[in-house]
A and B are shown apart, each in its own frame.
Chain A
Amino acid sequence: MSEPEQSLITDEHRAMIGVKSDPVTVTVREEDARRMRDILGDNDPRYADGTGIAPPYVIAMFGGGRGNARMPQVLPGGLLTQQEWRFSRPFKVGEELQAITQVVDVRDRLGGRYGYSVLVTSGTDYYDAAGEHVGAAMITITQFDPKSARDNS
């Protein structure tokens, strides 16, 4: 596919921005925390068994940024190109969090390795049982046409 003469992002795609998903329950699982600590070689005593605190990177197990929100699918290929994590407080082992996902931004990108591409940014916020914000994960997927990417390589 050559560079399009105008954006392939439609009003339907833009209408998905800011639409919040239904809440999804995620659990801070002890087995995830332990397994990840072991793999990373993390001996930080704050997150040891029995402390009740999970390391912040356990957020990687929550499926953050994807959730069940509708995502604009403008082009067939997709690559994770940016990621952000935010922590309002430490995660407690065993606690259940409510995850709410929304599309934050959809924009064109011209040129570059993938030719014409579309950047789709989505974010998931996590809330505890009291409704307090605990953390957030945001991802940007670069959507591209694989054939166009090959032509540009």
Chain B
Amino acid sequence: MSQRYYEDVNVDDETEPIEKLPTADMAVEFFGRDNPTNPAFADAEAGKRMGIGGALVPGLLKLSWMTQYVSDWAGPESNVRNLRVAFRRPDVAGNAIVYAGRVVDKRQEDGKNIIELEVVTLADGQPSVRGNVQVELPSRG
């Protein structure tokens, strides 16, 4: 993981897409065995009854991956400050999700260097989650 600096980031910069492959087991393990979860997370049949077509991928899992995606892009001296997402369509376990992003703003706020990215998850080329993520970067100075 390399460090990215505020001065080196420009609006419209794109982040390298990465692919994640969620499974139904991941959904169960993500919440821990003791936690109640939506039956559709682990049971493809329950998901089909809900019209999803298979086991549902938890939104919190997708949001966590998005946090990691931006944090890895930004580097070890960065801090993710805010994520705001809209869930556009469900994702089904076993189908790959691609994370991709673009810088939409850079600004200094209260002495901090803030980069804002639009991040989207794509499943079969269609967006399933759209998010805006703010991350604080160090300065070279």
The interface of chain A, by Cβ under 8 A from chain B, is 31-32, 35-36, 39-40, 42, 44-46, 55-57, 60-61, 80-87, 90
Contacts and interface: CB of A to CB of B under 8 A. Distances in A.
Interface string B82-111: 111111000000000000000000000000
Nearest to A88: B81
B83 A84 contact: yes
Contacts of A55: 67-68
A87 B30 CA distance: 21
Nearest to A142: B87
A101 B7 CA distance: 38
A57 B68 contact: yes
B67 to A, nearest CB: 5
A84 B87 CA distance: 11
A82 B59 CA distance: 9
Contacts of B31: 61
B32 A57 contact: no
24 contacts: A31-B32, A35-B30, A39-B26, A39-B61, A40-B64, A40-B68, A44-B1, A44-B68, A44-B72, A45-B76, A55-B67, A55-B68, A56-B67, A56-B71, A56-B80, A57-B63, A57-B68, A60-B60, A61-B31, A83-B83, A84-B82, A84-B84, A85-B67, A87-B80
B76 A83 contact: no
A126 to B, nearest CB: 14
A93 to B, nearest CB: 16
Contacts of B85: 82-84
B81 A86 contact: yes
A36 B64 contact: yes
B64 A60 contact: yes
Contact of A32 (B1, B32, B65, B76): B32
Contact of B67 (A35, A39, A57, A61): A57
Contacts of A44: 1, 68, 71-72, 76
Contacts of A45: 76
User: Would you list the 6 A-B pairs with minimal beta carbon distance, nearest first?
Assistant: A57-B64, A60-B60, A84-B84, A57-B67, A85-B83, A86-B82
Nearest to A58: B64
B87 A80 contact: yes
A61 to B, nearest CB: 8
Contacts of B87: 80-83
A83 B133 CA distance: 12
Question: Which of B32, B60, B61 has the most chain A CB atoms inside 10 A of its CB?
Answer: B60
